[in-house]
Amino acid sequence: MTAVTLRLDDVDIRIDGRGLRTARLRDEYYVDLPDPESLLGALRQRRPGVDVFTFVQTFDQPYPRHAWRMTWDEMAVLPVTTFDTWFDKQIKFKPRNKLRKAWKSGVQTSTQPFGDTLVNTIRHIYDESPLRQGKRNRHYGKDLETLRREHESFLERSEFVVAQAGGEPIGFAKLVHGEQVSVIMNIVALVSQRDKAPTNALIAKCVELTAARGIPRLNYGIWGRRGLNEFKVANAFECVAVPRFHVPLTRFGEWALALGMHRGLKERLPERWIVPLADGRAAWNQWWYTRLAALRGTRPAAPVETET
């Protein structure tokens, strides 16, 4: 069954799942839920075919505040004081040198207003390759209106950072600010310009903007189990466990939670299986998109690369 979205208590709720129907805030890492009981009451009253409601606490609340069934979301979080402290004392030798290299290569980062110029830049960067990190690039080939709609959320508290070299855009990031944490919602750079370290330059600008607002934390997505984690660790991001609660709304939901059906397949797989499976997927995607490009007479997909 496809995912649906409905609006309750002034927040957007996403409902998905084929067997177990699960509801969550559509933008759960970017909005707070101060009164989950009220939202649960609205869900029970509307009865939109939901078995389980799940939500996370905010990053500044590491201890569980509720008695419902709980798991942990592991997030990559950087403690922020000043940019100089991050550059001189927090990051490791390699990313510091790569950042210096980016600056010497003429990479410049600046904030840009949301509009046609920025949306065209975003499309230019997304359309470099149908693959990203060995997975299908779901933004590849989208039209301008779709990209505009998808990137206009939280504009009142967002900043868009664009990295340029020689006057041409080579990467962008979307930074969403909150009271206690800023979140890197998107960060993408051209693989063809990887030698100029544009991602390092974008991260540095996000740290600078977060510190300038006096916000004590910067979140860079989830704490995964391969590849990108090394880049995050080198740039001083730490693994922070955030409580996630799972509330049953039906008898089936109670039964499913008791059996652990709320945990995704990736969470249940042994650690030793994850990397070989991900590498196999990346190799298959690379082969398939290269073959497809040859048949169409277009350029092949960019090679799979990870940040270091």
Q: Which domains does the chain have, with CATH numbers?
A: 4-64+244-268 (no CATH), 81-215+279-296 (3.40.630.30)
- pLDDT value of position 140: 87
Long-range contacts, 263-272 (Cβ 8 Å, 24+) = 263/71, 271/225
Torsion sign over Cα 128, 132, 137, 143: negative
- For range 285-290, the mean pLDDT: 55
The CA-based angle 240-77-270, given to 5 degrees, is 50
Tokens 């049953």, residue located:
248
Convert the pLDDT of each residue in 55-77 to its tens digit. 999 887 778 999 999 999 999 99
Q: Is 106 exposed, middle or buried (0-12, 13-18, 19+ CB in 10 A)?
A: exposed
pLDDT value at 274 more than 90: no
Model confidence, pTM: 0.83
CA separation for the pair 133, 135 (Å, rounded): 6
CA distances from 30 to 179, 182, 208, 241, 249 (A): 11, 9, 20, 16, 24
Note whether 207 and 218 are within 8 A (CB).
yes
pLDDT value at 173 more than 60: yes
- pLDDT value of position 6: 87
- The pair of structure tokens assigned to 135 is 């997975």
- pLDDT value of position 47: 77
CA separation for the pair 220, 75 (Å, rounded): 7
- pLDDT value of position 196: 95
Determine the residue type at 162.
V
- The pair of structure tokens assigned to 157 is 């508290």
Determine the residue type at 152.
E
Torsion sign over Cα 71, 77, 81, 85: positive
Convert the pLDDT of each residue in 18-54 to its tens digit. 788 999 999 998 888 888 999 999 998 887 889 999 9
- pLDDT value of position 186: 94
